């Protein structure tokens, strides 16, 4: 439960990392942890971790630290990971296929229910039991089926048009891998993922290290 009204996006973006490392501790059989230990694992300061968690109630007890399983469960609830989500992927090329096979979907409760593409050679094939359908029928599908999240893996030239089409059918959350930032109306959340931006940042630091 959020204590202080609106939570900054920086805090929200740190929560998945806490969730991931707590999962690792759980798999190792660790029952208790502290903000100091989480700091060593995540790279965030112990005070930052405590501040982040205090936004939602704290969850720990001074002198005793955090119960790993309980804290992970509570962070999962904050992130909405206690629910199931149905996902479609638009674009069944290399990136779309890789995302459809991404094990992270299936470790959490995300179900890829269908893919869409215009390539007749792909239509009718399945990836992990999700059928690739003709993109011309995407609106018909969305009107008939409940879908929570759409993943866009199309070329740059068509991604905005496709996004507008699926939003008109009720989609409110888009994970966008097309090489263009989507512009959506208020009430629709888009996570634009640009792999080359991460690569270019890495390249900068690599060359900086070489220069030193």
Q: What pLDDT digit, counting tens, does each position of 70-83 carry?
A: 999 999 999 999 99
How many helices (H) and strands (E) would you count in the chain? 9, 9
Spatial distance between the Cα atoms of 153 and 99, rounded to a whole number of angstroms: 9
User: What local confidence, expressed as pLDDT, does residue 61 receive?
Assistant: 65
Q: Is 96 annotated as a binding residue?
A: yes
Q: What pLDDT digit, counting tens, does each position of 132-159 carry?
A: 999 999 999 999 999 999 999 999 999 9
Q: Is 119 annotated as a binding residue?
A: no
Query: Residues 99, 104, 110, 114: what is their CA dihedral angle, to the nearest 10 degrees?
Result: 20
Closest CA to 160 of 192, 122, 199, 194: 192
Q: Which domains does the chain have, with CATH numbers?
A: 9-78 (1.10.10.10), 85-196 (3.40.50.720)
Closest CA to 114 of 80, 146, 158: 146
Closest CA to 147 of 125, 173, 122: 173
Q: What pLDDT digit, counting tens, does each position of 92-128 carry?
A: 999 999 999 998 888 889 999 999 999 999 999 999 9
pLDDT, average across residues 167-179: 96
The 3-state secondary structure of 115-146, one letter per residue: EEECCCCCCCCEECCEEEEEHHHHHHHHHHCC
Spatial distance between the Cα atoms of 117 and 165, rounded to a whole number of angstroms: 14
pTM of the model: 0.89
Q: Is 58 annotated as a binding residue?
A: no
10 Å CB burial of residue 7 (0-12, 13-18, 19+) is middle
Output the six-digit token pair for 212.
């030193």
pLDDT, average across residues 56-69: 79
Q: Is 55 annotated as a binding residue?
A: no
């Amino acid at each position: 439960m959020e204590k202080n009204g609106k939570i900054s996006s920086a805090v929200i973006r740190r929560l998945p990392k806490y969730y991931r490392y707590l999962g690792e501790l759980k798999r190792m059989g660790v029952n208790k942890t502290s903000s100091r230990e989480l700091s060593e694992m995540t790279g965030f300061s112990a005070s930052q971790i405590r501040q982040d968690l205090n936004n939602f109630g704290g969850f720990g007890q001074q002198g005793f630290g955090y119960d790993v399983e309980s804290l992970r469960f509570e962070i999962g609830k904050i992130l909405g990971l206690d629910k199931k989500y149905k996902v479609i992927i638009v674009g069944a090329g290399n990136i779309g296929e890789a995302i459809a096979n991404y094990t992270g979907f299936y470790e959490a409760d995300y179900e890829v229910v269908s893919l869409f593409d215009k390539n007749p050679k792909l239509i009718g094939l399945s990836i992990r039991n999700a059928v690739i359908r003709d993109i011309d029928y995407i609106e018909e599908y969305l009107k008939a089926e409940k879908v929570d999240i759409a993943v866009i893996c199309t070329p740059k030239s068509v991604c905005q048009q496709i996004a507008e089409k699926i939003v008109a059918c009720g989609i409110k959350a888009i994970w966008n891998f097309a090489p263009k930032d989507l512009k959506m109306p208020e009430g629709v959340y888009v996570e634009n993922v640009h792999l080359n931006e991460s690569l270019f940042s890495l390249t900068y630091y690599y060359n900086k290290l070489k220069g030193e």
